[in-house]
Structure 1
Amino acid sequence: MKKRYASTWESLKEHQVPQWYEDGKFGIFIHWGLYSVPAFAPQTWELGEVPPDETWFSNNPYAEWYYNSIHVGYGPSYDYHVKKYGKDFKYEQFADMWKAEKWNPAEWARLFKKAGAEYVVLTTKHHDGFCLFPSKYTDYNASKRGPQRDIVGDLTDAVRGENLRMGLYYSGIVDWTFADDPILNNDDLFHTASPTFAYADYAYNQSMELIDRYAPSVFWNDIGWPRQGEHNLPYLLSHYYNTVEDGVVNDRFNDLYYDFTTKEYQSGSANRREKWEMCRGMGLSFGYNAMESDDKIISIEDAISLLVSTVANNGNLLLNIGPRADGTIPEEQEKRLLAIGEWLGVNGEAIYGSRCSSRESIKYTDQIQVHFTERDGALYVLIDAKGKSQVSVTVPGLSGNAVPLDPKVEADTAKIDGGLRFTVKNFGDSQNVAVFRLNRIM
């Protein structure tokens, strides 16, 4: 019998992380909107690398923050905007320049399937307030302007057509169509950005639209929720769970409630005791930044290493793509998705459906680490040796026969005092992460 949730925090806390989310491990994040037209941000730092102060916000590497970056009135994005479009060119004018003329949602969905993703999360409204769905609460949306189509609906149908889960992102606390004072520090996010009860109601109403129309498997709120509307959250979330039985929500509801916690680049923290999700762009930005060429984004090896280390420590990886304004996915991003899919095609049994092992990851050097996952009574040993063609490591406390999942991997294992020594002579096609299965957990 389906559980019904009451609109109380006590009832909500009875909700459990659904098995599909525990098992899925890998998702695709998509930031696509008006900011994809200018497609510009300076290449500065990862989030969390420097303090979130005026220096960060005036040199923001997130292209999807272009509105705020030019509204600051100085800095690289402002200078670019004045030179490219003119000082009097308003951000809202990008709505009539964004055509998405080459967008094929079915092609996107097929690519995500090939990448080995189990779920997708699309930005339905970012901080600029432009909606990618037909909302009865605003005409500032992609059905009325720009592409003139229901982007959320079209992609939801395509993703579900590939038997993947569809999740939706919503910018709950920031909407510059309601309050456009420049954000220059973290405090501004919670005070300057959403000061009215009218906006709190707007965010609530649009969230209900998304839940009722699309029934997303993930409801991914960003940054926080309007303080003036916190009292409505128990009803909103209970309505979500009662509508989507196996739905899941993140932790960006003012620390009031979550199914899983989030880490973004170097910002946030994660632990092995509860479910968490790592999200990041392939470069320093989530939205498409034309400045981020192939050599400026995460390497294939590092992307696979990130997936492995995240999963082994009880997390999911939500890796972002930033499509161009015309709807095409940059070739360098597609290349990485396909490489991850190829690796998962061989080694996926150590990832999908696995659980965090009682064995913690071992760091031998910055380049050599060993991770562990468990599934169906088997222990998986994932040897990550970035930039190495060969490696030899000893894992203490192990015994038994270890078999590489990739038949192209050339390796020997030997029992020595206190453990097993793994000697990988050739990583085959495994992108410097070789996976071994021990049928009995030792």
Structure 2
Amino acid sequence: METDNTKKFTELFSGFEDFNEEDQKQKIIEINRVINEMNKEEFKSVFTVEMFNKMNKMIEEKKLTINKAFLLLKYIASRKALKMFWNGDFSYSGLSKNFEKLIIEEDMKKEGKNEKLFIDLCECYLSLSCFFPTELLHICVFSLLKVALKKEETEEAQKEVEMALLTLSDVSEYCEMTKDKYLNETKEIILYHQERHNLTRLAYQCTWMFMIRRIFLDRSLEEVVVNELHFSREARRELEELSKCIDWKREKEEEEGEREVKEEIVLLRWLQSLETFFESFEVWNDEFVELIRCVTQIFQSAKDNYREISGQCTHLLNKVVDNGSVNIYGLLKGKTIEIFLEEIQLQTLNDKMSNECFAYFLAISLRLKGKEYDKMKEAKRKITKRKVFEKIEEEGYEDCIISFCEAIPFFSSKYYYELSKNISDYFVNV
């Protein structure tokens, strides 16, 4: 169904080839504004194979310069990445095939290689594609890593580095390559930023996302990420800084409008990359306690007016407690239990939040009833169980669970968490 945004886009793009270069530049600015307002369905409905084919024809007929096309394509790509919109139409278009050909031609040149054209081609091709030949993937990834290593702090250089890292973070998990091809470069980017703060917040988050996604292909990276590069310390610091930039007290009615600031988007991306990490990590250190505390504080700040952020926090915290490598005593110090106990007793609590809270306490109870994965000594385990029990007893958790007993099957059927119907599972037997 056509909306105001899709109608505006169609009107702006339909006669694009009839404008001169200067007017095209202005139209691209207007198109970018419309793209910024699009939701997922609108985005998918306009960026079709037909649209990309039309752009390719305009380039071939010299009615659109390739540099002007890059301006539009990079904005489409960045919006797709930031909002995590899925759209694979570019891969089936003639424009994709044309870019593949141009990338190979430029890469094979011994002399006279146009580096800027080559990098722009690589960024647009990788960031818009949903699949790519291995050879092309390697060519583009290595080229973009060189761009990401730039140390200049000019606004233009920062934009180039940011776009390169945004693209790399999205394709990291698809690229099978040995550590010697990327690890030293990525460590250099992170360590240099820790010392000089030369990257934008988005670029820094993308660097970490690139590394986190690589862990699934190479488990040995986990030790480097956790203990050498101090991922949890850096993630906490970034989340705290981003949190200061957000107006948590905004009026509720603003929530339905597509009002966004970059800090909110980057914070959400951090939470999503943390969820990816906590799904399967095996290396624990005490820095994670403060990170968990920070995520809990963000949940508390966001729960009234930022449902997407608060929902991501609860989902992440459930991933944390599900992971047997996480120290339960560390969770106690992270203050999540107290905050969730407060939330679960609110009359205004929605179904999804209730489900997430119950799932959290169920996971803690089941872990404390069984053996800890980190081989916690029995005496220490009993002390921890006693502390958890005292906390939930103080807050009237038992009464709360009993009052919700009939609702638990409803939560189980409506959401993907499989909550237990056995009420005793929600208590820690000391």
TM-score, normalised with respect to structure 1: 0.29
Larger RCO (CA under 8 A, 6+ residues apart): 1
What's the TM-score once normalised by structure 2's chain length? Answer: 0.30
- Compare the two structures and name the one with the higher strand fraction: 1
Instruction: From the two aligned structures, give the one with the greater helix fraction.
Output: 2
